[in-house]
A and B are shown apart, each in its own frame.
Chain A
Amino acid sequence: MTPLSSYLVLAAIIFFIGLLGALTRRHAIIVLICIELMLNAANLNFIAFWRFNPHPEAMLGPIFVLFSIAVAGSEAAVGLALVISIYRFYRSVDVEKMNALQG
């Protein structure tokens, strides 16, 4: 059986890929996809910890993951809607150009 550490390492790799993507890429949709990646890395952690828990009959991990996927879905919907309206306003989806909130 694959040990827990492999799952955790995989999740960490996915998380950091997502984080780096979110920090470095300028395309808004890519940033959203990277955020999804980080969320899914966290979900993977939940499932892994649940699977190696001494009491897997307590369905805590899957429930959290289900919630998390639902939240991620709605977040993606809101994010995409925002991206579309930003595109309509700026004619661009470059996050570097969206600096109207600067102090």
Chain B
Amino acid sequence: MFPIPWLPFIPLCPLVASIVIFTMKPAWSRIAAGVAISAMAMSTVLAFAALSTTFTHPQVVATSFDWFSVGDQHFDFGFILNPLTGSTAAMVTFVGLLIFIYSAAYMEHDENKTCFFGYLSLFAFGMLGLVISNSLLLLFMCWEIVGLASYLLIGFWYQKPSAAAAAKKAFITTRIGDLGFLLGLFWVYRETGTFLFYHYGSGILEPGPLAALASSPGFWGFSAAGAISLLIFAGAMGKSGQFPLHVWLPDAMEGPTPVSALIHAATMVAAGVFLVARTYPLFALDGRVLAIVAWVGVGTALFAAIIAVAQFDIKRILAYSTISQLGLMMAGIGVGGPPIGMFHLLTHAFFKALLFLGAGSIIHGCHGEQDIRKMGGIARPMPVTTLAYLCGVLALCAFPFTSGYFSKDEILLSAWHSNPAIFWVAAIASLLTAFYMTRQCCYVFLGVYRNEEHRHPHESSWVMVGPLLILAIFALAGGAVAHMNGILEYLGDKEPLVVNSTVVVIGWIISLGGISLGFLAYGLRPLTATGSDPFALTILGRAFYLDEIYAATFGRLVTVLSYLAEIVDAILLIVTELLVFIAREFSLLFAFKTDRVVIDRWFFDDICSNLRSLGGVVTRPQDGLLSNYLRSIALGSLLLAILFWCCHS
């Protein structure tokens, strides 16, 4: 018996809410917001209850039951509860709840607010289902639901062509990764015959099947386990915006800001990291796979951090910073195992949600302006937002004793022990992170307000600022509290690494050095809206022309292929036209020869007219004359009498 039978209700609450909301009239937006928020609050309570259960019982608790069978193939699904699930579900519900509340104010004047909350609830359902799923198949389905919700929400303002294009780009780019994930799914099913993670020793992540997977062959010298984990990692790369599939994430900022905060910073993009953490036993069978994960992660971290230095859109900077931090989480899992990456995921969710919501508040206050060159001096009119935002910035810069410091320190420490090269790349990425966040703060908060069109930025309402303050507390203190209470031992059963003073000092230097460099470059002189920016090179601003390169290579390839397809299509069209022509001629032949002669003439004209005249013959005796009838009766009786007489004599 599963110890907590109410676990499925964590995702089911938002699902019910979304169904209810989708059946509502568009005008009932306040009720919709209320339904969504209360469902999320219920999920939050349940998720925290689940979390507290895992404190006392940290071992894996899994259940499974038969879902459907095709022939003799059985597909099960089930739920799982372990520290990974508990902590992630609690984070998703809590951050989600705050963002739901914030959205109620942020989307106040949007005419599709009802629909927006429906989508948000649908997303929460998918994300929480993904977290508690015990089956790779169920996880994949929830994975696609969050992908769908992400698509719908990025394209929420679909009247804007850029938003519609960004939604398509996000959906298609993640689909490329999902193709790998799907192949991995098929492969793992072929090898083990099950999708369950834990199932009394026969689940994918349990020792028996793992040993079988490790011994069967894969490709390129990897075992099946290695190949499958690489394919799963491809899915995770798409979802978590790892290089080279990261291109959709900056464009996804076209969506409403709460969506960016919830989906494209705190939760959905972390699903890839979560997936790798969940299937870590599979990855851990092959050191080379872990090295690939670590290098892809750290490469992405550095790459995105370099690009972020030259961005001017406040949300794009945060988007590239998200990519960079996701890279660090991947690297953390690669070098140190799930606890390291997941710890950063959890702290990052709080401070990145805070930063996005803060950015939303700033954009709201600046009348929809997103260009940091047109901001400036926001600190005075928006003090509360500024304070909360600075807390988030400090956490992201890994300023000592904020939450980001503890989690990033663990990643650096693991990297130091595992591979110094990875350590130095991660260190440079972190330095750049501190630098570009300070640059952004200088642009936004210092100096004078530079926007000519709208003069007066204003502070946002308390419904928006309240969640910011709660998140700010978590961004500052959450990491320390979690670290003191041994979150790493809680998340994984490995012994934590010994603290290395060199790493700690380098961490301090990186953080403080990045902030000071940024301040030296941007804080000391007054910034102007049109003034030159020494680091904003065009190549960086255009993100290394990666979109253009994709357009010139894959885009061109697709164009060529589509031309080819068009030619094939034309040939097929001619062939089909020919076939249709022949068939038509044949049918005409039949129509004019066979049909007219056989059916019309023989059947209708001949047989029918004969029947008709026969009918005339038959009806002729019925002339209505009584005496004739009597004559017939008499004749008939006479004939009967003769017959009778003949038969008896």
A interface residue numbers (CB < 8 A to B): 19, 22-24, 26, 31, 95-96, 98-103
Q: Which of A19, A23, A31, A99 contacts B623 (CB 8 A)?
A: A99
Asked if A95 contacts B623 (CB within 8 A), the reply is no
Query: Does B1 sit within 8 A of A, measured CB to CB?
Result: no
Asked if B622 contacts A102 (CB within 8 A), the reply is yes
Q: Which 5 A-B pairs have the closest CB atoms?
A: A102-B624, A103-B622, A99-B624, A103-B619, A101-B624
Asked if B627 contacts A24 (CB within 8 A), the reply is yes
Neighbouring A residues of B647 by C-beta, 8 Å? none
Chain B 614-649, CB-CB to A under 8 Å as 1, else 0, gives 000001001111110011001000000000000000
Q: Which residue of A lies closest to B619 (CB)?
A: A103
Q: Which residue of B lies closest to A25 (CB)?
A: B627
Neighbouring B residues of A102 by C-beta, 8 Å? 622-625
B interface residue numbers (CB < 8 A to A): 619, 622-627, 630-631, 634
Q: Which of B619, B622, B631 contacts A23 (CB 8 A)?
A: B631
Asked if A96 contacts B634 (CB within 8 A), the reply is no
Q: Which of A19, A23, A24, A100 contacts B624 (CB 8 A)?
A: A100
Neighbouring B residues of A98 by C-beta, 8 Å? 624-626
Instruction: A19 to B624: give the CA distance in the assembly, Å.
Output: 19
State how many angstroms separate the Cβ of B14 from the closest Cβ of chain A: 79
Asked if B624 contacts A22 (CB within 8 A), the reply is no
Instruction: A96 to B624: give the CA distance in the assembly, Å.
Output: 9
Asked if B634 contacts A99 (CB within 8 A), the reply is no
Instruction: A59 to B625: give the CA distance in the assembly, Å.
Output: 40
State how many angstroms separate the Cβ of A79 from the closest Cβ of chain B: 11
Residue of A19, A100, A103 contacting most chain B CB atoms (<10 Å):
A103
Instruction: A26 to B630: give the CA distance in the assembly, Å.
Output: 12
Neighbouring B residues of A95 by C-beta, 8 Å? 625-627
Neighbouring A residues of B625 by C-beta, 8 Å? 95-96, 98-99, 102
Instruction: A22 to B624: give the CA distance in the assembly, Å.
Output: 16
Instruction: A79 to B358: give the CA distance in the assembly, Å.
Output: 110
State how many angstroms separate the Cβ of A10 from the closest Cβ of chain B: 19
**Other 5 A-B pairs with CB < 8 A, given A95-B626, A103-B619:** A23-B627, A24-B627, A95-B625, A102-B623, A103-B623
Asked if A19 contacts B634 (CB within 8 A), the reply is yes
State how many angstroms separate the Cβ of A78 from the closest Cβ of chain B: 15
Q: Which residue of B lies closest to A24 (CB)?
A: B627
Neighbouring A residues of B630 by C-beta, 8 Å? 22-23
Neighbouring A residues of B622 by C-beta, 8 Å? 101-103
Residue of B624, B626, B634 contacting most chain A CB atoms (<10 Å):
B626
Q: Which residue of B lies closest to A98 (CB)?
A: B626
Neighbouring B residues of A96 by C-beta, 8 Å? 625, 627
Instruction: A100 to B631: give the CA distance in the assembly, Å.
Output: 18
Instruction: A100 to B622: give the CA distance in the assembly, Å.
Output: 11
Q: Which residue of B lies closest to A100 (CB)?
A: B624
Instruction: A22 to B631: give the CA distance in the assembly, Å.
Output: 9
Instruction: A23 to B619: give the CA distance in the assembly, Å.
Output: 21
Instruction: A24 to B631: give the CA distance in the assembly, Å.
Output: 9
Instruction: A31 to B626: give the CA distance in the assembly, Å.
Output: 10
Neighbouring A residues of B623 by C-beta, 8 Å? 99, 102-103
Instruction: A37 to B622: give the CA distance in the assembly, Å.
Output: 26
Neighbouring B residues of A31 by C-beta, 8 Å? 626-627
Residue of B630, B631, B634 contacting most chain A CB atoms (<10 Å):
B630
Instruction: A95 to B630: give the CA distance in the assembly, Å.
Output: 12
Q: Which residue of B lies closest to A102 (CB)?
A: B624
Instruction: A87 to B305: give the CA distance in the assembly, Å.
Output: 118
State how many angstroms separate the Cβ of A31 from the closest Cβ of chain B: 8
State how many angstroms separate the Cβ of A68 from the closest Cβ of chain B: 18
Neighbouring A residues of B626 by C-beta, 8 Å? 31, 95, 98
Q: Which of A23, A101, A103 contacts B634 (CB 8 A)?
A: A23
State how many angstroms separate the Cβ of A14 from the closest Cβ of chain B: 15
